[in-house]
A and B are shown apart, each in its own frame.
Chain A
Amino acid sequence: MSKLIVHRGLATWGEALVPLDRFRAAAAEAGVRLTPEEREAAVRSYTAAVPDPAPVEGPYRRIAVFGGVYNNHFGLAALLDDAARRGAEAVYCLGDLGGFGPNPEKVRPLLAQGGVRAIQGNYEESLAAGREDCNCGYTDPRDNHFAEISYRYTERNCSGGYKAWMGELPRRRRVRVGERELLLVHGSPRRINEFLFRSTSPVPFLEVLLDQHRCDGILATHTGLHWHRRLPSGRDAVNVGVIGRPANDGGTNVWYAMLEEGEDGLVVDLLPLAYDHQGLAAEMRREGLPEEFVETIETGWWTTCLEILPARERAASRF
């Protein structure tokens, strides 16, 4: 019990006890104290624009944007049909071509046929660089165990030519839709494997990110879950979702985004996409991929990569 009273009038300074006043005085003196002008300058410099040499493509009236193919060539074939049917003038892929699903090489000709313009995801970056892991950014050992199975399978079944092609993809693209200049990235404009979940991507954070990267909208993927925020500034942040596996919502369809020039700015449609998921499940089984992965394709519920989900998204999942 002595510890409960030992602090009366005293403060902890490292491992020692000192009179409270002495700690307070030292704390009051410590650190820097900028003038109001210096503070403004410090914030200006912190939030200053990040140079980006990426050329601007377009302008287009309507584009389709998808991410996370995860070797799902059934999903990619369905997407190319759907996007063409809806009149997309250009089709963009935000990376993560491999992982999870079967036979990576079946994706490559579809990308070429569809004229898909891709950027690198962490998967392409890792495969092209010969990394030991996918650099997905998981922290849980079970998640990492399954991520490793995915990566090893894809790595083993990708040709050198495909990997080299992945290494030549740009890390970002800028595309004009109507009047709007959109920045296309994999994770976030800051990091290829940063997770932009809806419940942890607050408005003030996104506004500063858009300021720093001088664009009217950011399109990202990487989390596997689609969302859209129209910001108070009228700009947009969109996670286009993935076409490689369902969105952990009990549905077997996958998701992508259609962006269109509208009268009041950008029109963002997040679209569900049905595909031959039974065909995919059967091929995954033939390839000996984990039954946990096949279950996700058949039920729409994630069985792995769950620990990275924020509280809100996790509460909505079955497992």
Chain B
Amino acid sequence: MSVPELKPLAAAPRVELKSLDTLWFQVGGTVCNLACTHCFISCSPTNHTHEFMTLAEVRRFLDEAAGLGVREYYFTGGEPFLNPQMEAILAVALEVGPANVLTNGLLLDPGRCARLKALEEAADYSLDLRVSLDGYDASSNDPIRGAGTFARILEGIRNLAAAGLNPVITVTEVCREAASDSGKERFFELLRAMGIHRPRLKILPVFQLGAEAARGGAYESWQRLREEDTPEDGWTHLQCSSCRMVTDQGVWVCPILVNEPSAKMGDTLADTLESFPLEHSACWTCHVYGVSCKT
């Protein structure tokens, strides 16, 4: 039960906010209908570290974001579609900018997919969905995401495709071959076989936090950024130079560190326009693997 002491190295480099282009919403909190063994924030049906966000809360931040010229909105969780206000939230967001939803695909029944398509068609801006999948078949995916999930995820993807929406399939490198060209081709074949003519894929490395720390191992002490790691052109390749993450408990530096209170930057976006110390091990992953959570 002890709180892990964060021991910042003497000189963690700082990342400036170059421009606030991408605003994330932890709209599903840490509540999820799955409990994936690689989840870096250990989401589960009973994890209430962060709760659902309400439409009113989201609207308040969308208003503030407009004044700062935010370009795009991302919605994640937990599972966003567990939030009963999710579709209303999307409708409001699409009035002011493009929206992206990261979902596990389990709640994408034909009715919901048709409503999402209607939202997409009515909007002036892009609506994009991202569905997580962690293997080419049940025997590789289900040990990570849960028994029976492979078939249910594929059903969700099929429902989206049938409604005329082409999701980006997100695969983590827990699936070992995913990053190779032949691995990607296997996913493309799987999706083409489901009638998706233009398959889209995003590969993400794992963050050794939360449930993943127990599954694949935690970070070691050397996995930290130091001042001398600062690239010539600065830290603009990191998403935290152009994003912030809003949860029901305030504004955080990025989507990865919402379970680190030290990564909370303030209560409004205006509080969070300053630089942030890259003192967390996850910062090392973003730098070394060139990660961006964006699509």
Binding site for B on A (CB under 8 A): 3-8, 11-20, 22-24, 26-34, 38-40, 42-43, 45-47, 141, 190, 199-209, 212, 306-307, 310-315, 319
State the CA gap A311–B160 with chains docked (Å). Answer: 13
Minimum CB–CB distance from A64 to chain B (whole Å) comes to 28
Nearest to B97 among chain A residues (CB) is A202
Minimum CB–CB distance from B109 to chain A (whole Å) comes to 21
Known contacts A31-B271, A32-B271; decide if A12 and B49 are in contact (CB<8 Å).
yes
Known contacts A12-B30, A34-B271; decide if A314 and B166 are in contact (CB<8 Å).
yes
Q: Does B65 contact A (CB under 8 A)?
A: yes
Binding site for A on B (CB under 8 A): 1-4, 6, 19-21, 30, 35, 41-42, 44-49, 65-72, 96-98, 120, 124-128, 164, 166, 181, 198, 200, 209-211, 213-214, 218, 249-251, 259-268, 270-274
Contact B49 A20 (CB under 8 A): yes
Chain A residue numbers with a CB within 8 Å of B66 are: 204
Nearest to A229 among chain B residues (CB) is B124
Chain B residue numbers with a CB within 8 Å of A40 are: 270
The residue that A200 contacts in the complex, of B35, B72, B198, B264, with Cβ under 8 A, is B72
Chain B residue numbers with a CB within 8 Å of A19 are: 1
Contact A31 B3 (CB under 8 A): no
Majority SS of interface residues in chain A? helix
State the CA gap A281–B6 with chains docked (Å). Answer: 62
Q: List 29 A-B contacts (CB under 8 A).
A: A7-B49, A11-B47, A12-B49, A12-B210, A14-B6, A14-B209, A14-B260, A15-B213, A16-B1, A17-B1, A19-B1, A26-B261, A27-B250, A28-B250, A31-B250, A32-B265, A32-B272, A33-B267, A42-B270, A43-B270, A199-B98, A200-B98, A202-B71, A202-B72, A204-B97, A208-B67, A310-B126, A310-B128, A311-B127
Known contacts A3-B35, A4-B46, A11-B49; decide if A31 and B272 are in contact (CB<8 Å).
yes
Minimum CB–CB distance from B281 to chain A (whole Å) comes to 9
Contact B126 A32 (CB under 8 A): no
Contact A312 B126 (CB under 8 A): yes
State the CA gap A278–B190 with chains docked (Å). Answer: 38
